[in-house]
Structure 1
Amino acid sequence: MFSLSLVVLLCACCLAKSMEVKYSYSNAVGGGSGTSFSTEGAGRITAVRVWEITGAYITGIQLKNSSHWSPLVGRKFGTALEMNLFDGETISQISGKYHSNYIYQVIFGTSRGRFLFAGQPIQRSFNFYPQHPKAELKMLSGRYNGNGITSLAAHWGAVSSNRTGSKKQ
């Protein structure tokens, strides 16, 4: 009887471990006015592009999944900044500044300790990161209007073992 109980307990532990949640959501920051967006794409994120008005706020964002850029969120106005990820590198953190009307700054941090800084470090701070240690950024969502990004949220998911469409260092 003890042996059977031990086997059942071990099986239950293994099932619980395999059902571990590897996806999470970082709640949106910002005012949330305007048109909603989602940058969902097929494959892993391999690059980030951000437009900023120097001394002001973020006007547009694009993510590259494998070899295809997502549709532009916001608009191409101001300075474009871009970061291409290396083989095996993922986006592991997003920080920045926001206020009720716009996202003023975004900082994309990678699993290799690199950062893309865009925008102005003013207003309230936010910090997005996955709840699971082996997760990466899968997509962004939020809102934008005719001037720029008004709200931003991050969606994280488990890292798959396949990596395509990225550069080697």
Structure 2
Amino acid sequence: MLLLLTLALLAGATCRAQNVLANNIGTYFYIVDEGKGEIKSIRIFYTAARRLKGIQLQFQNHWSDVHGIRSKYYEEFLLNDGEHVIKVLGTVGHCLDSLTFITNKGIEFSFGKNKGRPFEESGGPDQHLQTVSGVYSHICLQGIGFKWTYNTTKPPREPMTIPDTDKEKEDSKDKDKDKDEDKDEHKEKTKRKKK
């Protein structure tokens, strides 16, 4: 029984790591995003040699835990309202060497050094980055995976004016009444002039 439980746990970790680009040997992580809103900022921690060693995401006003290793060397990329990551480029050797995030506004922001084997990931049309997962060791980020979601925000529609047909009918009646009164006044004036 214990053997089956151990195999099930190992299989679960392997399945999760299959979605990780680059190396999948190390400690697996998944940044939980549910109910916290959309990504507003991405923070990457470095070694002194500029190897990627940790990652942290901000969802609205909430920062996730640091996954990997925190460092005094880091950079941060802030997304504007309505801006989403739609593609990620990267390179990998023994560690994850670089990441470039590309937004729907055409902005690119790169972390790390562009060396090693390249990779590219996107969710496809009308999708943006929801969160990330990956693997880290005591030295650096080893690999990374991306979860994509469909855009749910639609551009605001122009306000539509619905005519008030009852009001239009009243206005029309008032205009007709005014015309009739004008005609009556005109007739009365004409009669007076004739006298």
Deviation at 1:63, TM superposition (A): 0.9
Higher mean C-alpha displacement, 149-158 vs 75-84 = 75-84
CA gap 1:70/1:113 in 2 versus in 1, 3 angstroms:
same
**Aligned residues, how many?**
135
Counterpart residue number, 1:167:
none
| Cα distance in structure 2, aligned partners of 1:160 and 1:73 | 27
| Cα distance in structure 2, aligned partners of 1:53 and 1:137 | 25
Aligned AA for 2:131?
M
4+ long deviations beyond 2 Å? 52-56
Counterpart residue number, 1:65:
59
Q: Would the aligned equivalents of 2:32 and 2:131 in 1 still touch at CA under 8 Å?
A: yes
Q: Among the aligned pairs, what percent are the same residue? A: 24
Q: Which of these two proteins has the greater Rg computed from alpha carbons?
A: 2
Aligned AA for 1:118?
F
Instruction: Give the TM-score of the pair, scaled to structure 1.
Output: 0.74
Q: Would the aligned equivalents of 1:91 and 1:109 in 2 still touch at CA under 8 Å?
A: yes
Q: Of 134, 146, 158, which aligns to 2:150?
A: 158
Counterpart residue number, 1:129:
122
| Cα distance in structure 2, aligned partners of 1:119 and 1:68 | 25
If each structure's helix is expressed as a fraction of its own residues, which one has the higher value?
A: 2
> Over aligned residues, Cα RMSD in angstroms?
1.8
In the alignment, structure 1 segments of 5+ residues that lack a partner are 1-25, 163-169
Aligned AA for 2:46?
E
If each structure's strand is expressed as a fraction of its own residues, which one has the higher value?
A: 1
| Cα distance in structure 2, aligned partners of 1:55 and 1:107 | 18
In the alignment, structure 2 segments of 5+ residues that lack a partner are 1-17, 155-195
Instruction: Give the TM-score of the pair, scaled to structure 2.
Output: 0.64
Q: Would the aligned equivalents of 2:20 and 2:135 in 1 still touch at CA under 8 Å?
A: no
| Cα distance in structure 2, aligned partners of 1:158 and 1:110 | 14
